[in-house]
Structures are given as C-alpha cells and as structure tokens.
Amino acid sequence: MGNKNKTISFRVNEDAFEALQDIAEERDISLSAVFRDYVDQLVEHDGQVEVVPEDELEAMGSDDGEQTFPPTVEVRKSFVREHERLELEAEHLREQLDEYKGYVNELQDRLEDEEDEILLLDDLDEEDESYQLR
C-alpha cells in the first residue's frame, strides 16, 4: 500500500487561529506546515509532545546544557520493580475476578435451570471442580 496523505479538519476560536497564524509567520511557513510539524513530532514521540514557548523550552534543558524533549526523569530501580510487581498483582487479581465471575455465572445458570429446586452445598462437593469460599 502507498503512503497516502489524509486530511484532518477541526475548528478553533478566532484568538487561537490568530495565534497559530503568528506562529506560522514567525517560522516563515504555512499554517498547514505548523500542524504537519506538530503531528510529525507527536507521532515520533509516541504522543509525548507538549507545545511550550521557546523561552520555557530553554529552561527545560538538561544540566549539561543539552536540551532534551520530552524532558526525562531518572527513576529508582526499586520504584520500577514495585511498579512491575503491582502490575503482575493486578493481572493476577483480574484473572481471579474472571474465575469468580465464571463461578457466579455458573451458579446463576443452575438457579435459572432449577428455579423450584434447592441447590445444596453438598452437591457442589460431589462435582469435579473444587471451589473455595473466602
């Protein structure tokens, strides 16, 4: 497949439009080029792009004078490990929740099938699957 250009259309208020025109004039490019540059940066940095005035961008420079964008932050390994541990725990809890939901659905189906009958807990013990109440 070829690389076809697509058109994006949206509305902005008059003040924002004039500000965008000023940006385009400052950079001596078309208004469309301003948006293409922004979209290219957005895609290149996986959505981590922020539009800031140039004087603020200079203040964001790193300690060695080199500007980095998007700004980066160092994080302790213990924080990363804790985050990974919490993600694994959350995944495990989601799996447990799905199992419990399946069990509840099975019990509800049995109740619908046996509306007038009584479901005894002893009957559950006789089945292949084992369930535990907590």
Domain coordinates in residue numbering, the chain: 14-56, 77-125
State the pLDDT at residue 93: 96
Could you check whether the bond before residue 71 is cis, i.e. omega within 30 degrees of 0?
A: no
Q: What's the CA angle centered on 21, arms 16 and 26, to 5 degrees?
A: 125
Cβ(82)–Cβ(89) below 8 Å: no
pLDDT (tens, 9 = 90+) of the chain, 134 residues, equals 567 777 777 788 888 888 888 888 888 888 888 888 878 888 888 777 676 777 776 666 545 556 566 667 788 889 889 999 999 999 999 999 999 999 999 988 887 876 666 666 776 666 556 655 55
